[in-house]
Amino acid sequence: MTPEILSDIKKRDQLKAKAQNGTISWETFRSCRNRISFNIKQAKKNYFAHKILQNKHDSRKLWKLMKEVGNLNSNKTTPNEIIDNGASVTNPAIIAQLFNSHVSQIADSVIHDTTHHEPNLEPLRQFVKTHLPDNHHFTVPAMSAEYLLNAINNLSCNKAKGVDSINIHLLQVGCNEVLQSLLYIYNTSITSGIFPDQWKISKITPVFKKGSRQNKDNYRPIAVLSVLSKILERFYGLHLLGYLQEHNLLTSSQFGSRPFHSCETMLLQLTDSLLNDMDKGNLSGILLIDFRKAFDLISHDLLLQKLAIYGLKDSTLQWFKSYLTERKQLVSIGRATSDLLPVHTGVPQGSSLGPLLFILFINDIPLVNKECNSYIYVDDTTLVKSGTSINTVRSHLQTGADNLSNWASENRMAIHPNKTKVMLIGSQQKLSTINEPLNVSICGTTISQTTCEKLLGVHMDDSLTWNTHISHVIKKYNNKLELVKRAKPYLTPKLLLLLYNSIAKPTLEYCCSVWGNCSTDALGRVTSAQKRAARILLNADYTIPSITLFKEINLIPIHDTIRHRILLQTFKCIHVHHASAPSWKNQPTTIQQELL
């Protein structure tokens, strides 16, 4: 609202009062009201146009902007009241203190058995031995001024500040003044093996998930670290990942936090295996494991033992020990902050190194669990076993579940049996002959068997028809399309299309190469949703053919998008020969072969 518009609104209200008293005509009031309404609409249009152009490459901010357009309140709020021991607490400082205690005690609340079982690290040693030459170990070179300058300039100014409150924009503006000083600090850390204590402090903000807002368990702790810490972390992560890729030290079962790997590549490999077994008339059992507070429970001692096996020694291993240990955290709610509390377990949340260290920690799961095939995306772990009968599948899957349960116990991790799910997958004809459950158990709890489960954002049903997934996708797509429709009065056609491509289109196309072999009827429902979007974007009626509308806004029909994605994957299968590429890329999948 500009000062001019606010002044006009005040004048409008005065004219309305005069019109009610009969001092002026209602026509005079309506003329003023309409002019102000037009000016407000134009102001909104200019405001949203500026914001969309400013954030056209940031879909998260565009989605936030669309919630503003649609007057949708975000659930991501910090707590203003919690219940502690039956008493209501509203003081922000006390709430922050209670949350800090709650977060710092997560490991103790999850792991009740404090007996330390020595993990079986021999399979990991043998695996590394077959890949790593003798007397070869990981080293980190000195950081160059050129690298540091690029790292600073590539920082996003929109990220939250850590406890040091360093302004990223000011750091970028004055980087030439502090470059040599920072370079000295970083290289001293590398050579000495000591990570600065000031960079070990996490600032945590509790963000509401779902359920009661008064329950501490219903908030997700979002951690923010010092931006200077992240530059050094990324440097170590870059060289550590390069070392792991060079020697092929990450198992082929892990699809997360690696080049050439993604949710899509994991789901493609998994579904391809399931479809092959389905074609053979086999049944497949899949166990979708839910680890409780996986990142928070990592034992520093065990992680350091595993890093040593991977070839980290001397000052490099000492650096990681310094990085992981003696960390602290505080909770911030509004302007209130808690006291500092120590962090004894877990990889640092909100860090650049955290995901890579986590996948190294669980990298030996496939090595100790050869009874089943493992598909892992960071902490999302899926065990799969196929067979000609349900008894065969049950037996092998139960052995795999027992092996994984033993691994979790030895590595001080925890599986959540009530959130872990099991599915029996096969053709509809084959499943119709099965009248008994899988009955797989973990830690004495029988795992719930479902006919459809969400994995990495895709709803997988027991016959891989994808009908349930497509229903969810269309519903989500229509919700986002409705927000685009609400923004229509404030945007030019070009900006409206930009907005659609940023927030609605990705919903429809996510992992479409995985579910693209659905039925013609199911795919037709997706196409109908696209046609509706084209008519909204162009304000067209139903007399104009949809193909004409698609061409006008360069909207690719979903069946062509699916074909394009599959052909891209096929190209990678044939031409990508990088050591870190997924092992299945040496041959096209079943779906890809149908197109070749």
Give the model's pLDDT for residue 595.
45
Q: What is the DSSP string of 232-297?
A: HHHHHHHHHHHHHHHTT-S-TTB-SSSTT--HHHHHHHHHHHHHHHHHTT-EEEEEEE-BTTGGG-
Whole-model pTM: value is: 0.85
- State the Cα–Cα distance between residues 481 and 164, nearest whole angstrom: 41
Pair 431, 495 in one domain: no
Look at residue 249 and tell me if it is in a domain.
Answer: yes
The contacts of residue 15 (CB under 8 Å, 6+ apart) are: 24, 28, 29, 32, 33
Pair 520, 573 in one domain: yes
Look at residue 596 and tell me if it is in a domain.
Answer: no
Total count of domains within the chain? 4
pLDDT tens column, 419-474? 999 999 999 999 999 999 999 999 889 999 999 999 999 999 999 999 999 999 99
Residue type, 373: N
Pair 346, 484 in one domain: no
Pair 320, 337 in one domain: yes
Q: Which alpha helices (H) appear in 280-385, and where do they start and end?
A: 300-309, 314-324, 354-361, 365-368
Q: Residue 85: pLDDT band by 50, 70, 90 thresholds?
A: confident
- State the Cα–Cα distance between residues 514 and 270, nearest whole angstrom: 10
- For the four alpha carbons of 20, 23, 26 and 32, in that order, the dihedral sign comes to negative
Give the pairing type, strands 283-289 and 336-337.
unpaired
pLDDT tens column, 359-417? 999 999 999 998 899 999 999 999 999 999 999 999 999 999 999 999 999 999 999 99
DSSP state of 348: P
Pair 161, 230 in one domain: yes
Pair 375, 397 in one domain: yes
Number of residues in the chain: 596
Residue 32: closest CA among 16, 53, 48, 51: 16
Pair 403, 455 in one domain: yes
Give the model's pLDDT for residue 596.
46
Pair 494, 423 in one domain: no
Which of 338, 360, 382 is the last residue before a domain boundary?
A: 360
Look at residue 299 and tell me if it is in a domain.
Answer: yes
Query: What range defines the domain where residue 562 resides?
Result: 467-584
Look at residue 218 and tell me if it is in a domain.
Answer: yes
Pair 153, 300 in one domain: yes
Pair 424, 478 in one domain: no
- State the Cα–Cα distance between residues 451 and 431, nearest whole angstrom: 11
Look at residue 331 and tell me if it is in a domain.
Answer: yes
The pLDDT of residue 526 is above 90: yes
Pair 410, 439 in one domain: yes
Which CATH number characterizes residue 444's domain? 3.30.70
Looking at every residue in the chain, the average pLDDT score rounds to: 88
